[in-house]
Amino acid sequence: MSHIADCDIEIRDFKAVEAAAKALGGEYLPNETKIRYYGRFLDDWKDNRAARNRFDPSRFGQTDAGVIRFKDSGYDVGFLKNDDGSYTPYYDTWGSEGAKISQKLGGMQLPKLKDEYAAAVAIRAAARKGFRVVRSTGPKGEIILKARA
């Protein structure tokens, strides 16, 4: 089986993806052209989260902009290019390998990836304007950024 899911975030900054992957214990490999996943698309999952609802399944297994990889997972997170030039992360949620990705990234909709990506984008934007950013973690695990001139 394969359960290919995408994530509802638009990626436009791959330096921020690299920082997010590192913060989450993974690495961003920009030159990869294929993702590690179950290996074939079986069209056996009709959930509203299924990437087949938004992307042509013939693209599954490919990545348009590298992968996020974790050493202890046999699956990757890849990126499919959208018509507007942004990219959507996607991955195979099936089995223990898919569960490892979901766990590392905070759940099925990858909230930790979203949070770390947003933080990295904000830090990079602040730095371009000459601000120093101090990062801390709140009592519930939330990311707190303070910019100083």
DSSP codes joined into one string, 91-115? EE--HHHHHHHHHHTTSTT-HHHHH
pLDDT at 50: 81
Average pLDDT over residues 9-16: 97
* Residue 48 lies in domain: 4-148
Answer yes or no: is pLDDT of 1 > 60. Answer: no
| Helical H segments across the chain, by residue range | 14-23, 95-104, 111-128
How confident is the model over 81-101, as pLDDT tens digits? 999 999 999 999 989 999 999
By three-state DSSP, how is residue 87 classified? Answer: strand
Number of domains present in the structure of the chain: 1
Average pLDDT over residues 106-122: 95
Average pLDDT over residues 60-77: 96
Pairing relation of β-strands 77-81 and 143-148? unpaired
Amino acid at 21: A
What tokens appear for 9 in the block? 């975030």
pTM above 0.85, yes or no: yes
Q: For 75, which DSSP code?
A: -
pLDDT at 24: 97
| Distance, CA of 41 to CA of 44 (rounded, Å) | 8
Give yes or no for a contact between 94 and 59, defined as CB atoms under 8 angstroms apart. no
Mean of per-residue pLDDT scores for the chain:
93
pLDDT at 51: 86
pLDDT at 68: 98
